[in-house]
């Protein structure tokens, strides 16, 4: 199956260059930096352990130089592609790099787009000769909007992103996992009569049929799994239920978006466990930043895969005393996406029960959401007509076999 992300290892003795490269790649969702090495021997060790698709290799490194490492890797791990990064641009270096088995050569300094292009081209050249890897992974990408502080905009971003994905023809499900006070139904003007509580209330097996009967189909083509109508029912939903529901639905959808409660408990840990990309939402308020920092620390402490965590700044507004640079430095994590503060658009869309990506498509807010969708999907697919219940149809086929 075609890997969803290109796994990259950075090998360079300069710490600053490694963090610059990491930062440059952080806005490319199709690329995941899985490790860094500061010398030739460490590069060999990590390459053997982590099986990256691409190694970005400096030439002048202690212990073993980059060309020697490239030579060894080319023999030992033929599925690994090396891109040399060098200050020397002379033809001779290029020739030696290619002879050692490198697939591309970047002269320092290079731009973020040159770097991403080199990685994509190298990876695509390799994969085109691997028919076994051509098929798209037939499993939904699970994205969770997360924050340990309330009111930062998780529901707003999750609903609009999910609608935007559905309008691009992607089979998408939005789950309202804010089980006590979920707002997805009201935000999208839907009745919450059919919801997750109906799936778990009787202690019976959770089947695809049972889930299907309790999904709500939004006119955009988006499917919704709504939260219980009353907080009293929330306790009935256990981590195991969430696990089974996600496992059952993952083969049916292309994207599953999860809106969460401002909390870090067993339900949230279960969700995080099954999530491919965590969109950690923060605003430019000191209290939000404090919570985001604590949240990042907690995820680190529990050894969560931090490469999956992306920072989204919502309600961005100039001149409030905290800038983007302060955030990146203070939180030690690059910003993945920025969504502007636009109270009128956000609130009138909310009060009308219509997502702003549909109601106000030309607003800066909607454009920011569309840009985020493009980042996530990794292409420029234009907005298309609503998908006609594609996922539900597929789910029904799974249940009824026709």
Ligand X SMILES: Nc1ncnc2c1ncn2[C@@H]1O[C@H](COP(=O)(O)OP(=O)(O)OP(=O)(O)O)[C@@H](O)[C@H]1O
Kindly list the residues in this chain that would bind ligand X in the complex (CB under 6 A): 150-156, 178, 183, 262, 314-315, 339, 341-343, 346-347, 350, 365
Q: According to CB under 5 A, which residues from 102 to 161 bind Mg ion?
A: 154-155
* Spatial CB neighbours of 137, under 8 Å, sequence gap ≥ 6: 1, 2, 3, 4
Q: Strand, helix or coil at 240?
A: helix
- Non-local CB neighbours of 113 within 8 Å, separated by 6+ positions: none
Residue number, 42 or 177, with CB nearest to Mg ion:
177
Residue nearer to ligand X on the CB measure, 60 or 345: 345
Residue 178 CB, nearest distance to Mg ion (Å)? 5
- Minimum separation from the CB atom of position 157 to Mg ion (A): 10
From the centroid of its chain, how far is CA 372?
Answer: 10
What is the Cα–Cα distance from 346 to 156, expressed in whole angstroms? Answer: 8
Choose from ligand X, Mg ion, none: what does 377 bind? Cβ within 5-8 Å by kind: none
Read off φ and ψ for residue 263, nearest 5 degrees: -160, 155
Binding segment for Mg ion (CB under 5 A), chosen from 120-128, 175-183, 224-232, 265-273, is 175-183
Contact yes or no for 36/166 (Cβ under 8 A): no
Beta strands 223-225 and 216-217, pairing class: antiparallel
Helix (H, G, I), strand (E, B) or coil at 277: strand
Identify which of residues 151 and 323 has a Cβ nearer to ligand X in the complex.
151
User: Taking the complex as a whole, how short is the minimal distance between the CB of residue 10 and ligand X, in angstroms?
Assistant: 34
The least CB distance from residue 351 to ligand X, in Å, is 9
**Beta carbon nearer to ligand X, 62 or 150:** 150
In the chain, what is the greatest distance between 2 CA atoms, to the nearest angstrom?
72
List the single partner that 315 binds among ligand X, Mg ion, none, CB under 5 to 8 Å by kind.
Answer: ligand X
Residue 150, contacted partner among Mg ion, ligand X, none, CB below 5-8 A by kind: ligand X
Q: Is 164 in the site for Mg ion (CB under 5 A)?
A: no
Q: Which does 314 bind (CB under 5 to 8 A by kind): ligand X, Mg ion, none?
A: ligand X
Half-sphere exposure of 145 (CA within 13 A, CB side): 32
Q: How far, in Å, are 86, 229, 398 from residue 348 at the CA level? A: 53, 24, 39
Binding at 346: pick from ligand X, Mg ion, none (beta carbon under 5-8 Å per type): ligand X
Nearest residue to ligand X on Cβ basis = 150
Q: Which residues bind Mg ion (CB under 5 A)?
A: 154-155, 183
């Amino acid at each position: 199956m075609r890997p969803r992300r290109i796994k990259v290892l950075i090998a360079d003795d300069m710490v600053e260059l490694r963090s610059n490269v990491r930062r440059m790649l952080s806005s490319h969702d199709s690329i995941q930096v899985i490790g860094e090495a500061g010398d030739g021997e460490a590069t060999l060790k990590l390459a053997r352990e982590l099986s990256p698709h691409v190694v970005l290799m400096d030439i002048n490194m202690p212990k073993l130089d980059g060309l020697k490492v490239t030579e060894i890797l080319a023999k030992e791990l033929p599925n690994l592609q090396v891109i040399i990064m060098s200050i020397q641009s002379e033809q001779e270096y290029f020739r030696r790099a290619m002879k050692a088995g490198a697939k591309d050569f970047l002269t320092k300094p290079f731009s973020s787009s040159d770097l991403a292009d080199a990685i994509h081209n190298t990876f695509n050249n390799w994969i085109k000769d691997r028919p076994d890897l051509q098929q798209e992974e037939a499993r939904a990408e699970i994205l969770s909007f997360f924050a340990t502080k309330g009111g930062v905009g998780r529901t707003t971003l999750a609903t609009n992103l999910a609608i935007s994905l559905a309008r691009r023809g992607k089979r998408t499900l939005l789950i309202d996992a804010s089980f006590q006070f979920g707002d997805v139904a009201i935000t999208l003007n839907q009745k919450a009569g059919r919801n997750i509580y109906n799936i778990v209330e009787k202690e019976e097996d959770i089947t695809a049929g049972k889930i299907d009967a309790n999904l709500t189909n939004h006119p955009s083509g988006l499917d919704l799994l709504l939260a219980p109508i009353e907080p009293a029912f929330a306790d009935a939903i256990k981590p195991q239920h969430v696990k089974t529901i996600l496992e059952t639905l993952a083969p049916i959808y292309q994207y599953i978006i999860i809106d969460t409660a401002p909390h870090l408990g067993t339900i949230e840990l279960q969700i995080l466990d099954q999530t491919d990309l965590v969109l950690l939402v923060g605003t430019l308020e000191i209290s939000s930043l404090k919570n985001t920092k604590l949240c990042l620390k907690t995820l680190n402490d529990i050894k969560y895969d931090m490469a999956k965590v992306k920072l989204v700044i919502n309600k961005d507004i100039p001149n409030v005393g905290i800038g983007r640079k302060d955030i990146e430095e203070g939180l030690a994590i690059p910003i993945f996406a920025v969504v502007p503060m636009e109270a009128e658009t956000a609130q009138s869309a909310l009060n009308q029960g219509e997502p702003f990506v549909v109601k106000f498509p030309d607003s800066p807010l909607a454009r920011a959401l569309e840009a985020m969708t493009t980042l996530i999907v990794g292409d420029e697919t234009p907005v298309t007509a609503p998908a006609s219940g594609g996922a539900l149809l597929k789910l029904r086929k799974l249940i009824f076999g026709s």
